[in-house]
Structure 1
Amino acid sequence: MNRRSKGAGPEPYDFRRPTKLSREHIRTLQIAYETFARQFTTILTTSLRAVSQVTLLSIEQFTYDEYIASLASPTIIAKVSMEPLPGTAIVEFSLSIAMTSIDHLLGGSGGPQPERPLTDIETPLLQSLFSRVLGELRYAFEGIASIRPQLAGIEYNPQFVQAGGASDPVIVASFEMRVGAEECVATVCLPLGMIFPKLQGDRTDVQLSPAQRAAREAAHRNLVAGLESVPLDVAVRFQPMHMRPEELISLRPGDVVTLNHPATQPLAVTAAGITFAHAVPGSQGSRLACLVVAPAKEEDR
């Protein structure tokens, strides 16, 4: 049984979590994954000596929690490091496909397989096959990034895999995978933060037309103009002072608290806790005011 529908159709769009992948990003990944699928097919066919096929179905963005929830249990979940890229990738396919592949590796003809974790003899066989598959993943991604995929471990229960936070965005490529009479939907999951900077590269401005570049510059000017008119809370402050809790508790109306601010030192003009100017207190008519001045010599750097 496939765990995801193969047919194309309308997909719900969550405006609270818009996709960050453009058509150019999807196309770049599609080329890489189609290359990977062809090489994967070749490895399975030559290694297992059985009719095999791997075909790219879709590339979608989910949260890590949504991806994990979509997986069956048990299943084969290979955790993969993608040095020098940060984070952990996941290559996942059904346990029945894994058992069928091992059966063919040992000279069997396939057929119904037991649903159980791999034995100590079967695990190295699958790991050896995986090492060849990851080599082809490295080759397929050469146009995007230079990576060194390494198998970091195999799990069977998706809930035991900690490869990201629940709300972290991930890019999931789904493949139709067939080995003999067995088939499943296999997936490759990459954290968005791992691959998105490589998809961006330095090519964004090159791909813009003159009209698009002019629209971007106009939007930037409008944004700057809008920010310049936003009201901010500004404070004029003395230097802070330290008091013990018992002194604070004992304060009464009429008490005098001595400030540590030197009379010759200007006050700090701050916004959002950041000092951006210095000033001396004064008045303008009947209103209190301050005059912006140069900082004191001991602060002047």
Structure 2
Amino acid sequence: MADILSQEEIDALLSSVTDEEEPEAAVESIGNTRKKISLYDFKRPDRVSKDQMRSIKNLHDKFARNFSSSLSGYLRSITDINLISVDQMTYGEFLMSLPNPTSFNIVSMLPLDGNSVLEVNPSLVFPIIDKLLGGQGEPIEEVREITDIEQNVIDGVLSIALRELEEVWSPIINLRLKIELRETSPHVIQIVSQNEVVILLVFEIKVGEVSGMMNICIPAIVLEPIMPKIDSQDWLIGAKKMASTGNESQIKDIVSKTRLTVHADIGETRMSLRDVLSVEPGDVIMLPTKVRDLMLFKVGDSNKFYGEIGIIDNNKAFRIKRKVMKEDIP
């Protein structure tokens, strides 16, 4: 028969298990107050608050939507772009996560002091190049380094990405993004030290049946001057107002270019069908309108203005005198 544990032995076992499961925190007694102390990992410091990370995520969610629309038009193919994750990590960890070779682009962020990285995986680069050169956008079977000619071809896509990034950041700061250097090996160039904290934004891009990843790496130290603005919600309200104003101006621009039929009526009368059938060239049809009466000017089927008919430079013209008022309509 198995030994039966006493209640004291059971309590001792449970107590030892509880102590082993909580190594990350300690309890310090100060006077009569007990405080829980959490251990801090200096290898993975959080330089950016959760609220700031949430704001950055919202910015780049909008970027993903805008870039997807622009890239679809550029490639003439259905494109879907999604923001997969927004994380803090060290620059060294970011480099270790990248394939080699890849499209590794150093981007300046004026007026901010420092550079960021825009990286596009080769699994996505080569199908896009194939699509731009008239192919079906098929992926390559073996990954190889990107040639200078291929890099020039993909520059069009990168330029669209930078333009859309400038647009989404505009409520906070007017960035001027420019590719300063291109490499195929991510370990050749170091924009910050290996232990420096960076913000990594990971996007999944689907072009037709092909999908791949795009990464944007921004050192936290580069964003420090504008962190208070990122943390504030004022820019979000301003961005909504700008979007509303932009939509309004766009609607006005579209409507202003709409073509309408306009015509002036000199008068109308009633005739029998027998008289209409007997009309011949040279016949005169009498109208009830007098010469000095104002004529009606119509836009489409709507009565809009009263005015006079005349001639300017051998062209028939209409001079508007006044608007049609509600009391003028029978």
What is the CA distance between 1:96 and its match in structure 2? 2.2
Query: Which residue in the other structure is 2:261 paired with?
Result: none
- The answer to whether the 8 A contact 1:177-1:183 is kept is yes
Within 5 Å, which residues of 2 pair with 1:112-123?
A: 112-113=139-140, 114-123=142-151
**Deviation above 4 Å: which 4+ runs of structure 1?**
none
- The answer to whether the 8 A contact 1:49-1:104 is kept is no
* 1:169 lines up with 2:169 in the alignment: no
Within 5 Å, which residues of 2 pair with 1:257-296?
A: none
How many residues were matched structurally?
Answer: 195
**What is the distance in 2 between the residues matched to 1:112 and 1:167?**
35
- The answer to whether the 8 A contact 1:93-1:185 is kept is yes
* 1:132 lines up with 2:160 in the alignment: yes
**What is the distance in 2 between the residues matched to 1:126 and 1:194?**
26
What is the CA distance between 1:153 and its match in structure 2? 2.0
- Quick one: structure 1 residues 126 and 199, their matched pair in 2 at CA, closer, same or farther if it must change by over 3 Å? same
What is the CA distance between 1:176 and its match in structure 2? 1.3
* 1:46 lines up with 2:46 in the alignment: no
Query: Which residue in the other structure is 2:94 paired with?
Result: 67
Partner SS for 2:206: strand
Give the helix-richer structure, 1 or 2: 2
* 1:20 lines up with 2:70 in the alignment: no
Gaps of 5+ in 1: 1-11, 207-301
* 1:57 lines up with 2:84 in the alignment: yes
TM-score where L is the length of structure 2: 0.55
What is the CA distance between 1:66 and its match in structure 2? 0.9
- Quick one: structure 1 residues 40 and 203, their matched pair in 2 at CA, closer, same or farther if it must change by over 3 Å? closer
Percent of aligned positions that are identical? 31
Partner SS for 1:19: coil
**What is the distance in 2 between the residues matched to 1:73 and 1:130?**
19
- The answer to whether the 8 A contact 1:144-1:199 is kept is no
- Letter of the structure 1 residue corresponding to residue 183 of structure 2: E
**What is the distance in 1 between the residues matched to 2:201 and 2:222?**
15
Within 5 Å, which residues of 2 pair with 1:1-301?
A: 15-16=41-42, 17-113=44-140, 114-201=142-229
Partner SS for 1:167: coil
Root mean square deviation, CA, Å: 2.4
**What is the distance in 1 between the residues matched to 2:230 and 2:82?**
30
**What is the distance in 1 between the residues matched to 2:55 and 2:163?**
19
- Letter of the structure 2 residue corresponding to residue 40 of structure 1: F
- Letter of the structure 1 residue corresponding to residue 49 of structure 2: S
What is the CA distance between 1:14 and its match in structure 2? 6.1
Gaps of 5+ in 2: 1-23, 25-38, 235-330
**What is the distance in 1 between the residues matched to 2:158 and 2:169?**
16
How big is each residue's C-alpha offset from its partner over 1:187-222, in whole Å with a ceiling of 9 and x where there is no partner?
100010111331223967x9xxxxxxxxxxxxxxxx
TM-score where L is the length of structure 1: 0.60
Q: For structure 1, which segment, 17-26 or 152-161, has the greater mean C-alpha deviation from structure 2 after superposition?
A: 17-26
